[in-house]
Structure formats: structure tokens, C-alpha cells
Amino acid sequence: MQEEFDIIIIGSGLGGLVCANILAREGKKVLVLEKNQQFGGNLQTFSRDKVIFDTGVHYIGGLLPGQNLHKYFHYLGIADKLKLQRMNPDGYDFVTFDGDKNEYPYAQGTENFVKQLTKFFPEEENAIWQYVEKMKEICESFPLYKVEANENPVSNEDLMSLKASEVIHELTDNPKLRAVLAGTNFLYAGIENKTPFYVHSLSINSYIESAWRCVNGGSQISKLLIKEIRKLGGTVLKHKKVISISANDLGEIEFVKTSDGNSYKGKQFISNIDPKITLNLIENFHLRKSYLKRISEAEDTVSSFSLYITLKPDCFPYLKHNYYHFKNEIKVWTSVNYEEKNWPEGYMVSFSAKSDNNGFADGISVLTYMQYDEVEKWKDSFNTVAEKDDRGAEYEKFKAKKTEILLNELEKKFPNIRDCIQSTYVATPLTYRDYIGSSTGCMYGFAKDADFPMRNYLSPRTKIKNLFLTGQSISMHGILGVTIGAILTCSELIGRKYLVDKINLEYGKRKNS
């Protein structure tokens, strides 16, 4: 007879692995099915010229003992095993502009954040205090952000409909300070007059609490989570692309099929993949048109053009901070909806952290927005580990042209950079689409809209009793956001209070030991 699992999880992104870890701890027989050669989704790393590059984890917040992610990761059995490097206390991020020599810091610690930024805006100390206090207040109203079990404030329309750009605008009349406070909005693909302030706050506040890089890449998170899942008796399989999710006559999902011809039977199912694609895979069940429409029409966040640079030895300094650079202050909010002729209007720069650092960087990642439309003409070509890049010469020319434009921009900020470059590699929205399996290669799942706060706020519950969702389109994106989203998903199965109490209880034991 075919083996039956308690829980089958489709996709081994962070959300899927956190769910598997939590439910395996409950004694559930868990199976994770991943389509790729490498587990982890956006936690995947790759290496070129022996340099390890991250694809979707350049830094993480909230990992000091006592902080939120540390508590969650402790429960998952990985907090003290991670190899991390603390970023610069007085500036883990710097916002910079063409033609302005100042580098505006985001420092760790609330007081230090205000202190370091006030050095550049002595008249604005009050506004900067108000900014951090407001962010904290918003974060505090999300119980799971504080590892507490109360319900989320999704019904608090006032809170959910505050707009990031408006809140910042109201705090100060100083255009430069406004641009600096909004300057890391690449972290959530912020759109002016649209992105809610809670998305801004939940994305940024945990870095102010503490900011870290993963030494030798973020894939250590997925590796450690999988080790725990297997230790707890769970099964995690790669090269298992789920091609259908089949319901029985009672309207419950019974099994999933994978592209290698296998099928896997389960009692409950969690999808960690793009919710739009999840719904397309469902067979023998008629979902209500309104539900289908809401999900299929949900707006994706923009995608990224990522340039990975390997560097000549001992040439470019290793910096324990990131840059968010813009052509000018106005571009802080417009770079996401760039005009092609002005691309890129801003970019983010991060450095690969390695254990044997000698003061010089061996790799730089440069990330900037790219709309899916720009690569749509190659949409029928695929690039996976199994199938070699077959997008053709025109696509290669496109990538080379964009690389050159981005390097020209980069040179304005780092004049000597070209002398230090060994080689460059590129990821486009199609690369993200193919490696993650999302519809448009979007960076952060569904975009949130303060004017319609509930529209893209997806519940982990679906209209099918035993099918649940997890991942970055649920609740929030990012390492912290997706972890909290997985807690929400598992809460549907085992109860929120029960789970959060257990997390806190385990953490209490750590402190007392």
C-alpha cells in the first residue's frame, strides 16, 4: 500500500522548511518536495571563481539573544549554529546620492540610529526620533513580531492603511532626510503612495535592532533546517517538481503528483510556492470564481536585475555595510517604476561575507529593479540546473548591455571598481522565475496596497479544508516575515497559543540553562 504522510509540503523555501521543522517537532510524518537540485528557494547560493554569492539573503535582522528571530530560530534548533557576522554598528546601511559626498548611515540600536543620522541633520533630531518611535509602535502592534500569541491587527484598517511615503513626508520638510528615511525601500519594493507603512516598519526595524550577514552564504539556514527536519524523522526530497494537487470526491486534497511520475499521499498539504501557481495545479476541485480572481489578479512585486561581480585579490575593500545609492532624492520612490532610458535610477550593493576575511572583498552583489516586461520576449525559454541556458544570443546581448549600463552607474560611486573586476554574472527576472518557480520572478511575492489593505493580505487557509499556504505572499516577505508567516500557517494546524507558548517556554529554558 502507498505510504501516507501527515503533512506534505510543496517547495523547500524558508516558509516550507520552517513549517516542516515545526510540524515534525509535533511528531507529524512530514514530507517536503522540492523541484530544484538545491533546497531553500531564495536561500540558495551559487559560487563563481570560488566566491559564494547569495541570491536572496544579503542580511538578516533580529538575531541578538532575546530578539524575535533569535527566539524563532532557537525553537527551530538553528539559532546558535548559524555562522554570522555582525554588520557595522554605526552604519549597516548607507544611503547615498550622485553628487553628494555624504554617506547617510542607518545605525544599529534605536538611540544610535538617531545619533548617527542626527550628525547629518542636526535640526531634525526630533523628526528622526519620531520616525523610529512610529516604526516601533507599528511593529509592537503585530503580536508575532514580539513572539506573542494574540491575533494580528489585520482588522485595524487605520494601521494597515498608513502609507510609508506619506508618513515619512509628514515627519519632516527636509527633502534629503525624507529620501534617506525612504532610501532602503528596495527591501520591500516600495511604491510611493501605495506601500503601507507597516511593510516599511516590519522590513526595517529588525535591522535597527541588530544586522547580520551570513558567513559563506544564507544557504546555511536551509541546510540547518533540513538537518533538524531529518533528525526529527521528516523526509526532504529534491528533483521533485509537483505538477498536480488532486482532490478526492469529498473535496479534500488526497495526493500530489511529481514530474518524475510519482505520487505522494497525504492528510494535510502546505504549498510554499507562488499562490497563483498553486491554484493552477489543483485538480478535481472547483474553487469559487471570486477566490480564484482575487489571487490570480493579485499584483506581484517587481523583479530584480542582479549583477554578481567576482573581484581580483586584495583590490577592493571588504565593507561590513550595504549601500543604497540613487541618482537623486526623487529617484528614491520612482526607481521602481523606472523609464527604460533612465534605468537604473538606484541600486543596492552588498558584499559576500567569508570566514577568512583579510580586509578585501572577493565578491560584490549589485541589485536593481527590473520589470518582467523587459525580458518577457524570452519567456518561453527556461534555465534550470537540468536544462542548459537556451535563451539565445539576443538575450546574452541584452544582459551584456544592461551590465555595462549598471557598471557605468556603479563607477560614479566607486571610481576604481572596473580595475578590480575579475568577472561578472547576471540574474534577470527570468532567472528568478525559473529558480524560484514564481510567475514573474517577483522579489517579494504579492505587493501590498495601503488603499486596499485586505486585498493582498492572504490567509494561510484556502477554500480547501486540508490545503494551506505559506511563504512570502502570506503576511510578509524576508527571513523574519516568512518565518512569522510559517508560524501563522502552523497555527492553523496546531493552534497559535499552543505553538507560541512552546516557543517561549523553550526560550526560557535556554536562558535558565
Ligand X SMILES: Cc1cc2nc3c(=O)[nH]c(=O)nc-3n(C[C@H](O)[C@H](O)[C@H](O)COP(=O)(O)OP(=O)(O)OC[C@H]3O[C@@H](n4cnc5c(N)ncnc54)[C@H](O)[C@@H]3O)c2cc1C
**CA dihedral sign, ordered 250, 255, 257, 258:** positive
- Closer CB to ligand X, 56 or 453, in the complex: 56
- Closer CB to ligand X, 59 or 176, in the complex: 59
Q: Which of 24, 63, 232, 242 binds ligand X (CB under 6 A)?
A: 242
CA distances from 274 to 41, 54, 243, 483 (A): 11, 21, 13, 16
Alpha-carbon span 7 to 268, nearest angstrom: 5
CA distances from 104 to 199, 285, 320, 475 (A): 22, 54, 15, 30
Q: In sequence order, which ranges of 312-454 are alpha helices (DSSP H)? A: 331-334, 393-413, 417-420, 429-436
The binding track of 466-485 with respect to ligand X, each residue x by CB under 6 A or -, is -----xx----xxx--x---
Phi, psi values for residue 309, rounded to 5°: -115, 125
- What lies within 8 Å, CB to CB, of 64 at 6+ separation is 70, 209, 210
- Closer CB to ligand X, 58 or 496, in the complex: 58
User: C-beta of 479: minimal distance to ligand X in Å?
Assistant: 4
Q: Left, alpha or beta for 467 (phi > 0: left; psi -120 to 50: alpha)?
A: beta
**For residues 354-383, which are near ligand X according to CB under 6 A?**
367
How is residue 330 annotated by DSSP?
A: T
User: Residue 471: exposed, middle, or buried by beta-carbon count in 10 A (0-12, 13-18, 19+)?
Assistant: buried
Q: Residue 458 interacts with ligand X (CB under 6 A)?
A: no
Q: Residue 304 interacts with ligand X (CB under 6 A)?
A: yes
How is residue 13 annotated by DSSP?
A: B
- Closer CB to ligand X, 41 or 91, in the complex: 41
Beta strands in 280-342 (DSSP E): 282-283, 303-311, 322-326
Q: Which of 176, 241, 331, 448 binds ligand X (CB under 6 A)?
A: 241
135 touches 483 (CB < 8 A): no
User: C-beta of 486: minimal distance to ligand X in Å?
Assistant: 7
Q: Which of 9, 164, 224, 273 binds ligand X (CB under 6 A)?
A: 273
Alpha-carbon span 444 to 287, nearest angstrom: 25
Q: Residue 33 interacts with ligand X (CB under 6 A)?
A: yes
With contacts defined by CB under 6 A, name the span among 29-37, 140-148, 283-291, 375-383 that binds ligand X: 29-37
Q: Residue 266 interacts with ligand X (CB under 6 A)?
A: no
Element (H, E) at 60: strand 60-61
Written as nine digits, the cell of 447 is 505587493
Alpha-carbon span 449 to 451, nearest angstrom: 5
With contacts defined by CB under 6 A, name the span among 55-63, 107-115, 223-231, 497-505 that binds ligand X: 55-63
Q: Which of 56, 105, 190, 453 binds ligand X (CB under 6 A)?
A: 56
User: C-beta of 426: minimal distance to ligand X in Å?
Assistant: 13
Residue showing the smallest CB distance to ligand X in the complex: 13
Intra-chain end-to-end CA distance of the chain, in Å: 46
Q: Which residue has the cell 512570502?
A: 472
332 touches 185 (CB < 8 A): yes
Q: Which of 234, 344, 437, 460 binds ligand X (CB under 6 A)?
A: 437
- Closer CB to ligand X, 107 or 443, in the complex: 443
Q: CA 237, 502, 506 angle in degrees (round to 5)?
A: 90
Three-state SS at 321? coil
Q: Which of 22, 31, 36, 395 binds ligand X (CB under 6 A)?
A: 36
**For residues 58-97, which are near ligand X according to CB under 6 A?**
58-60
- Closer CB to ligand X, 45 or 310, in the complex: 45
- Closer CB to ligand X, 172 or 431, in the complex: 431
- Closer CB to ligand X, 127 or 188, in the complex: 188
Alpha-carbon span 212 to 63, nearest angstrom: 8
Q: Which of 8, 20, 24, 41 binds ligand X (CB under 6 A)?
A: 41
CB neighbours (10 Å) of residue 438? 27
Q: Which of 7, 15, 70, 254 binds ligand X (CB under 6 A)?
A: 15
Q: Residue 52 interacts with ligand X (CB under 6 A)?
A: no
User: C-beta of 444: minimal distance to ligand X in Å?
Assistant: 6
With contacts defined by CB under 6 A, name the span among 7-15, 84-92, 307-315, 369-377 that binds ligand X: 7-15
User: C-beta of 76: minimal distance to ligand X in Å?
Assistant: 14
**For residues 110-149, which are near ligand X according to CB under 6 A?**
none
Total number of residues binding ligand X (CB under 6 A)? Answer: 36
Q: Which residue has the cell 559563506?
A: 216
- Closer CB to ligand X, 168 or 474, in the complex: 474
Say if strands 84-86 and 211-214 run parallel, antiparallel, or are unpaired. antiparallel
User: C-beta of 75: minimal distance to ligand X in Å?
Assistant: 17
With contacts defined by CB under 6 A, name the span among 9-17, 81-89, 161-169, 229-237 that binds ligand X: 9-17
Q: Which of 7, 8, 42, 69 binds ligand X (CB under 6 A)?
A: 42
User: C-beta of 113: minimal distance to ligand X in Å?
Assistant: 18
Written as nine digits, the cell of 311 is 573581484
User: C-beta of 442: minimal distance to ligand X in Å?
Assistant: 8
How many whole angstroms from its chain centre is CA 226?
19
315 touches 419 (CB < 8 A): yes
Alpha-carbon span 26 to 268, nearest angstrom: 14
Written as nine digits, the cell of 139 is 511593529
Q: Which of 5, 7, 8, 13 binds ligand X (CB under 6 A)?
A: 13
User: C-beta of 27: minimal distance to ligand X in Å?
Assistant: 23
For binding to ligand X (CB under 6 A), which residues are involved?
10-16, 33-36, 41-43, 56-60, 241-242, 272-273, 304, 306, 367, 436-437, 443-444, 471-472, 477-479, 482
